[in-house]
């Protein structure tokens, strides 16, 4: 059995803001093993980025409060001091951010920025760091890395910048790579390359990946397990197969429906989920998705637990609807108005 790298238990993240307490993450739990890819999916505002940042210790601050445990190789990262946390960042956990344009410091050369990460954790000289940087750039597929290493970020294209970001994240061989919507700002063709790159490097570097996205399609190929988040909560969780082929949560259906797919007849229009995500300060009572759910009924006024409701073990969801009812109706959402053509 593969090594269990990360164990998140009932993680809660709250922020005190001028408008009130924001419950950004509410009781999320998952495990991650070496060599696996965990996909976290949800709209913006669903708490997935906060989860990722919390793992990295980037949400620490005087107005943030955390509950639960984040056990990395048995150590609770929430209890680690700020100073010690520096050693985990970059070294044990690497992260790639959404927008490669702004995530790189515009005034330093690409090479400097990567070498800086290496030197922060390893006692190597400048020359060695630079050599390593060039090697990393080559590994992430930057052509001509010897000369491009001295370029500034604005001289790189978007895709290349993201590759540089990946190189930076992997520079110290982290066990876990967190990719926080790494492809959102990129062209579709580049997206695929980046996803493929992450998947390949995961094997090369023998690490685990948490891949965060709002687009289920992106991780369709690489994810081993998928968590669907809504309003700070996990609303469905299961293997890729479970989520794609037997989605239990109407919200998941919505997400699936918004993927343009070539393997199905083209719907008249892609599905959109009506309304907008709820306030995290005063969330609606009961099921958080209830106000936007076309299938909501009385019972939804009570919040359902995250339970295993189908025959597949490990496939959990938060929906009161009858399993058969769901299987009957979900295609209306997933495939739009053209179900009958299937």
> Do the Cβ atoms of 32 and 212 come closer than 8 Å?
no
3-state SS, the chain, equals: CCCEEEEEEEEEEEEEECCEEEEEEEEEEEEEECCCEEEEECCCCCCHHHHHHHHHCCCCCCCEEEEEEEEECCEECCCCCHHHHHHHECCCEEEECCCHHHHCCCCCCHHHHHHHHHHHHCCCCHHHHHHHHHHHHHHCCCCCHHHHCCCCHHHCCHHHHHHHHHHHHHCCCCCEEEEECCCCCCCHHHHHHHHHHHHHHHHHHCCEEEEEECCHHHHCCCCCEEEEEECCEEEEEEEHHHHHHCCCCHHHHHHHHCCCCCCCCCCCCCCCCCCCCCCCCCCCCCCCCHHHCCCCCHHHHCCCCCEECCCCCCCEECCCCCHHHHHHHHHHHHCHHHHHHC
Q: Which residues of 48-65 are buried (b: 16+ CB within 10 A; e: fewer)?
A: bbbbbbbbbbebeeeebe
Q: How far is the CB of 29 from another protein (least distance, A)?
A: 15
Pick one of 5, 6, 8, 15: the residue that binds another protein (CB under 8 A).
15
Q: Does 123 bind another protein (CB under 8 A)?
A: no
Pick one of 24, 134, 197, 256: the residue that binds another protein (CB under 8 A).
24
Q: How far is the CB of 164 from another protein (least distance, A)?
A: 11
Q: Does 266 bind another protein (CB under 8 A)?
A: no
Q: Are strands 307-308 and 75-76 parallel, antiparallel or unpaired?
A: unpaired
Q: How far is the CB of 182 from another protein (least distance, A)?
A: 13
From residue 169 to residue 198, the character string flagging contacts with another protein as x (rule: CB under 8 A) and all else as - is x--x--------------------------
Nearer to another protein (CB atom), residue 2 or residue 281: 281
Range 318-337, binding another protein (CB under 8 A): none
Q: How far is the CB of 15 from another protein (least distance, A)?
A: 3
Which range, of 15-23, 181-189, 241-249, 254-262, touches another protein by CB under 8 A?
Answer: 15-23
Which range, of 190-198, 202-210, 233-241, 273-281, touches another protein by CB under 8 A?
Answer: 273-281
Q: Does 234 bind another protein (CB under 8 A)?
A: no
Q: Does 316 bind another protein (CB under 8 A)?
A: no
Range 44-73, binding another protein (CB under 8 A): 45, 47, 49-50, 53, 56-69
Nearer to another protein (CB atom), residue 97 or residue 253: 97
Q: How far is the CB of 13 from another protein (least distance, A)?
A: 9
Pick one of 72, 88, 211, 253: the residue that binds another protein (CB under 8 A).
88
Q: Does 99 bind another protein (CB under 8 A)?
A: yes
Residues that bind another protein in the complex, under the rule CB under 8 A: 15-19, 22, 24, 45, 47, 49-50, 53, 56-69, 76, 78-79, 81-82, 86-91, 94-95, 97, 99, 102-107, 113, 116-117, 120-121, 152, 154-155, 165, 168-169, 172, 276-281
């Amino acid at each position: 059995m593969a090594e269990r790298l990360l164990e998140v238990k009932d993680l809660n993240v709250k922020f005190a803001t001028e408008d009130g307490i924001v419950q950004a993450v509410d009781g999320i739990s998952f495990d991650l093993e070496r060599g696996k890819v965990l996909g976290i999916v949800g709209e913006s505002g669903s708490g997935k980025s906060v989860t990722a940042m919390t793992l990295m210790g980037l949400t620490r601050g005087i107005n943030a409060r955390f509950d639960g445990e984040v056990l990395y190789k048995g150590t609770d990262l929430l209890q680690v001091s700020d100073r010690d946390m520096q050693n985990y960042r970059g070294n044990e956990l690497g992260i790639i951010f959404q927008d490669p344009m702004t995530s790189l410091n515009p005034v330093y050369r690409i090479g400097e920025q990567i070498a800086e990460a290496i030197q922060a954790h390893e006692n190597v000289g400048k020359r060695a760091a630079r050599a390593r940087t060039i090697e990393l750039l080559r590994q992430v597929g930057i052509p001509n890395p010897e000369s491009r290493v001295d370029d500034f970020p604005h001289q790189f294209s978007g895709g290349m910048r993201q590759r540089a970001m990946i190189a930076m994240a992997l520079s110290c061989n982290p066990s876990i790579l967190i990719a926080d919507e790494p492809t959102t700002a990129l062209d579709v063709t580049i997206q695929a390359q980046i996803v493929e790159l992450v998947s390949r490097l995961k094997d090369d570097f023998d690490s685990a990946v948490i891949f965060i996205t709002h687009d289920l399609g992106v991780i369709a190929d690489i994810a081993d397990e998928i968590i669907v988040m809504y309003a700070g909560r996990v609303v469905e969780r299961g293997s890729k197969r479970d989520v794609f082929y037997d989605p239990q949560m109407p919200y998941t259906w919505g997400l699936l429906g918004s993927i343009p797919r070539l393997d199905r007849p083209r719907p008249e229009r892609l599905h959109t989920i009506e309304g907008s995500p709820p306030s995290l300060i005063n969330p609606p009572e009961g099921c958080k998705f209830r106000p936007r759910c076309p299938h909501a009924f009385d019972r939804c006024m009570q919040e359902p637990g995250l339970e295993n409701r189908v025959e597949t073990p490990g496939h959990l969801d938060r929906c009161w609807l009858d399993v058969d009812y769901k299987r009957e109706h979900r295609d209306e959402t997933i495939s739009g108005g053209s179900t009958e053509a299937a």
